[in-house]
Amino acid sequence: MEQHTRPAPAPDREHRGGPARRSLLGTAVAGAALAALPGGLAACTSREAGAQQDDGPLTEAEFAAIMPTHQPLTLAEPDIPGVDGSTPGYTTLPAALVKAVDGVPGKGGTYTVMSPAWWTTPPGAEDNAYFQAVNEALGATLDFQIADGNTYADKLQAVLASPKDVPDWVVIPTWNIPPRFQQGVSALFTDLTDFIAGDEVLKYPNLANLPTDAWKYCTFNGRIYGLPYPGELIGNALFYRRDIFGQLGLAAPTSADELLQVAKDATDPAARRWGCEDIWDGAQLLFGCTDWMMQDGNLISRFESPRYREAIEFMRELFASGAVHPDAVAGNTQQAKDRFEAGQTVISADGLGGWHEALTRVLPSNPSFDQQPMDWFAPDGGAPTLYKGAPVNIFSFLKKTDDAAAVEEMLAIANYIASPFGSEEFQLVNYGVEGVTFERDAAGAPALNERGSTEVTSTYGFLVSPPIVNAKVQFPQYVRDFCDWMARQAPHVVEPVFYGQQIQDPSQFSSLGKPFDDLAKDIIRGRSDVSELDAAVKNWRSSGGDELRAYREKFLTGDEAAS
């Protein structure tokens, strides 16, 4: 029974808040998703009905007028409380589960649900005890239409282009939000504002428990359209094999120079061991890069920042040292986890969600396996600057309808699904039924059995999720390590420029940064010179970068503009 497990939003990605680029589900695929929509879907609404993106960000007063009342709800006190927004942790199960929802939320309705999966599609409801049990508890039928997560953007494009074919409930990961969505959202999906703004949300206590930042991020054109799957305060880390470091007499680095040196010291090709994987994503975070930054009162892109150049120069030196695994040098990232877990590499950049997954895979055969995140540090060894992760990883939307009763029924269902850790409802949504889809492990925690591993996947949970906690009680030391690490990093977290704002850049700029992806790879691998960045930045500016900056400047708040 746990709530820290988060699906990897896409291959090679953990969240959108950092500098790393979207890959298989990137803007190039999603860019056309609304281009084929009927012209009426691009119609604008007035500020009175909902502020358009081009009007700039809502003021705090405007947000306050529509935000749901936040009413925190804790059913089980954490063993490790959160600090400065860090994740609270549970190393033990509560003595008894609490019933979080009175009665049955549904009224017998049947709703189609479109959702992605990056795993084998589970059996349909007729052969799925998990679906049957949850639908019975909900008092309604959610009929899932599950699509391949790797091609989900294409599926969305086809569905959104034909409004009559839009399912009743649609899951859209943040990295799949297509261009022009701001213009089409009000024609496709239900405006939830009047149902949950202010104290209206108190009818749904588990939704009222969701953080205000998440609701802000669910706001499009000044109105609430989405239901949130909240994100983590920090999403990524540089991991190292502490067990192998101990064998080699190495200490975790505390500066960029030490990181380079320890990677070289750990490298021994004769022993089939190299210092690291390609840690380009982690290096950008280490050097304080994020998509947009303020410098001397001016808005600059990541590519223009000296930090970006420094990160590339660091990576170029790392690759030249021979400390990067040859397969990573060749661009093979698919087996990076396998190499790291096998000890062929001892440093790797990854999302936090991969940590406990690695423990699950490796500990049965290698009990000494010890993967740990490095404390973040500034390149010179000082205090780091960490950027807060996106407040939402995944949205769900209700198809546009005038049937208020149906909307209220779906919100009541969402309230059930959002029940927090420590509740009977949370256990059912995440594990199904004891003796059918899960058994108890040695720690007394639910563990999916063979049937559960096939039937219980992230379906209901993608529609909405309670605030994140870490309750991997089967790995109590991991929970302590994770929560202590997060608490140490939390004081260094700042909000990036445009934090929490829904800003969609004009589609003509969607591929503007692509040349930097390729150039960075070439420079890092010694195939191009660092000086080529200058020409690339100049070309970026003249090809639309300056226009994009001017567009973005409209969304700066007073505090950001003054920083």
Task: Tell me the pLDDT tens digit for each residue of 126-145.
Answer: 999 999 999 999 999 999 99
For the entire predicted model, the pTM comes to 0.86
Please report which helix (H) or strand (E) contains residue 378, including its range: none
Exposed, middle or buried: residue 197 (CB in 10 Å: 0-12, 13-18, 19+)? middle
**Span 403-423, average pLDDT:** 97
C-alpha distances (whole Å) from 443 to each of 92, 93, 399, 512 are 8, 9, 42, 51
Q: What's the pLDDT score for residue 509? A: 92
Q: Is the pLDDT of residue 23 over 80?
A: no
Return the SS3 of 247.
helix
pLDDT at 55 over 90: no
Identity of the amino acid at 6 = R
Q: What's the rounded mean pLDDT across residues 430-445? A: 92
pLDDT cut 90: percent of the chain above it: 80
88 near 78, Cβ under 8 Å? yes
What mean pLDDT is predicted for residues 40-61? 54
Domain annotation for the chain: domains and CATH numbers: 27-78+104-233+392-465 (3.40.190.10), 236-385+500-562 (3.40.190.10)
Measured in whole angstroms, the distance separating CA 406 from the mean position of its chain's CA atoms is 29
For residue 270, the Cα-to-chain-centroid distance in whole angstroms is 38
pLDDT of 213 strictly over 50: yes
| pLDDT above 50: residue 61 | yes
Using 50, 70 and 90 to split pLDDT, how confident is the model at 24? very low
How does DSSP assign 337-376, residue by residue?
HHHHHHTSBSEEEEETHHHHHHHHHHTTT-TT--EEEPPP
Residue from 305, 357, 322, 307 nearest 118 by CA: 357
Residue 493 to residue 214: CA distance in whole angstroms: 17
Q: Token pair for residue 499?
A: 């934090």
Q: Which two tokens stand for residue 432?
A: 């199904």
Residue 560: the pLDDT is: 54
* pLDDT (average), residues 417-432: 96
Stretch among 42-46, 83-87, 219-223, 466-470 having the lowest mean pLDDT = 42-46
> What does the pLDDT read at residue 53?
59
If you search the block for the tokens 């009224």, which residue do you land on? 107
The mean pLDDT value for 263-270 works out to 98
Q: Does residue 139 contact residue 104 with C-beta atoms inside 8 Å?
A: yes
| Kind plus residue range of the DSSP H or E element containing 507 | none
* CA contacts within 13 A on the Cβ side of 200: 13
Mean pLDDT (the chain) is 89
Whose CA is closest to 495, among 11, 37, 17? 17
pLDDT above 60 for 8: no
- When pLDDT is averaged across residues 258-265 and rounded to a whole number, the result is 98
Q: How far apart are CA 144 and CA 167, in angstroms?
A: 10
Contacts for 513-522 with beta carbons within 8 Å, 24 or more apart? 513/21, 513/301, 513/303, 513/540, 514/28, 515/539, 515/540, 516/303, 516/540, 517/21, 520/280, 520/312, 520/315, 521/331
Q: What pLDDT is recorded for position 419?
A: 98
**How many CB atoms neighbour CB 363 within 10 A?**
15
Helical H segments across 86-180, by residue range: 129-138, 152-160
Q: Quote the DSSP letter at residue 143.
A: E
| 275, pLDDT greater than 50 | yes
> Phi/psi of residue 456, each to 5°?
-95, 105
> How many other CB atoms are there within 10 angstroms of residue 150's CB atom?
15
- Name the residue type at position 101: V
1 class by beta-carbon count within 10 Å (0-12 exposed, 13-18 middle, 19+ buried): buried
Amino acid code (one letter) for 292: W
Report residue 58's pLDDT band, with 50, 70 and 90 as the boundaries. Answer: confident
Which two three-digit tokens encode residue 288? 């304080």
Q: 399 pLDDT exceeds 80?
A: yes
What is the average per-residue pLDDT within 450-458? 95
Secondary structure class of 201 (helix, strand, coil):
helix
Cβ neighbourhood burial of 408 (10 Å; 0-12, 13-18, 19+):
middle
Q: Does the pLDDT at position 40 exceed 80? A: no
Backbone angles phi, psi at 526, to 5 degrees: 80, 10
Within 8 A by CB and 6+ apart from 124, the residues are: 131
pLDDT for res 54? 60
Tokens standing for 438? 């899960």
Tell the residue number behind the tokens 């030249």, with chain if given: 320
CA separation for the pair 411, 204 (Å, rounded): 8
Which amino acid belongs to residue 441? D
What string of DSSP letters covers 293-339? EEETTEEEEGGGSHHHHHHHHHHHHHHHTT-B-HHHHTT--TTHHHH
pLDDT at 562: 47
Residue-level pLDDT at 240 = 98
**Could you tell me the pLDDT band of residue 9, with boundaries at 50, 70 and 90?**
very low
- Going by C-alpha positions, the residue among 166, 171, 181 that lies closest to residue 41 is 181
Q: Which of 18-22, 518-522, 558-562 has the lowest mean pLDDT?
A: 18-22
CA-closest candidate to residue 421, choices 374, 473, 376? 473
**Alpha helices in 51-99, H assignment, sequence order:** 60-66
CA 322 to CA 318: how far, in whole Å?
A: 7
pLDDT of residue 473: 87
pLDDT at 25 over 50: no
pLDDT band of 178, cuts 50, 70, 90: confident
Q: Are strands 292-295 and 298-301 parallel, antiparallel or unpaired?
A: antiparallel
Q: Region 335-358: what's the mean pLDDT?
A: 95
Dihedral sign from CA coordinates of 108, 114, 120, 123: positive
Q: Do residues 224 and 79 make contact, with C-beta atoms less than 8 angstroms apart?
A: no
Residue 150's pLDDT is 92
